[in-house]
């Protein structure tokens, strides 16, 4: 079952003497901040994302260390078609950048991974309505995908997306 935001609940079997059911929640929340040429905040948006099937498979791959590359890039696009579990790419990708940072929380936040991507002046300009996290500079595996109300990014603007994924017991 795949739902938007924190509604994702997966039941996986664990072997601890006998079969037990463990429910996991995997969800993400993105904050998009648009800055002008002087670094002044012009607009801030927040949105939940959809964990797509390829993203769930990637998480399983990372647990089993089968060799897929870690998430390394963020992309923005111009297609406002509703996201779907079967998405493997953005609808219409406008630009992709290497992640500015990737960090795992600690203590009570150890179940969170934060990805930050910055689209500087001249990168990813236009009427942006979608974003995603991927593991390559082109093509690659899509981890999660979201759409949002249009953000008009001018050539001198910069856009920073801070995306927090949480994996927790349901």
**Could you report the per-residue pLDDT of 49-64, keeping only the tens digit for each?**
989 999 988 988 888 8
CA angle at residue 1 from 80 to 60, to 5 degrees?
95
Q: What is the pTM of this model?
A: 0.85
pLDDT in tens, 91-127: 999 999 999 999 998 887 889 999 999 999 999 999 9
CA–CA distance, 55 with 58 (Å, rounded to integer): 5
Q: Mean of the pLDDT values across residues 77-82?
A: 96
CA angle at residue 74 from 69 to 80, to 5 degrees?
125
Q: What is the pLDDT of residue 66?
A: 80
CA–chain centroid gap for 13, Å, is 26
């Amino acid at each position: 079952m795949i739902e938007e935001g924190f509604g994702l609940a997966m039941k996986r079997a664990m072997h601890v003497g006998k079969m037990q059911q463990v429910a996991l929640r995997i969800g993400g929340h993105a904050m998009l901040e648009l800055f002008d040429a002087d670094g002044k905040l012009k607009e801030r948006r927040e949105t939940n994302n959809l964990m797509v099937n390829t993203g769930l498979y990637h998480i399983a791959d990372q647990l089993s260390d089968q060799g897929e590359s870690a998430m390394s890039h963020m992309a923005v696009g111009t297609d406002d078609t509703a996201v779907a579990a079967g998405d493997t790419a953005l609808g219409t990708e406008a630009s992709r950048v290497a992640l500015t940072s990737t960090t795992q929380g600690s203590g009570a936040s150890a179940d969170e991974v934060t990805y930050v991507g910055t689209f500087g002046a001249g990168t990813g300009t236009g009427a942006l309505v979608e974003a995603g996290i991927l593991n390559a500079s082109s093509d690659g595996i899509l981890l999660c995908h979201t759409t949002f109300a249009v953000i008009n990014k001018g050539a001198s603007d910069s856009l920073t997306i801070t995306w927090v994924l949480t994996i927790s017991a349901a």
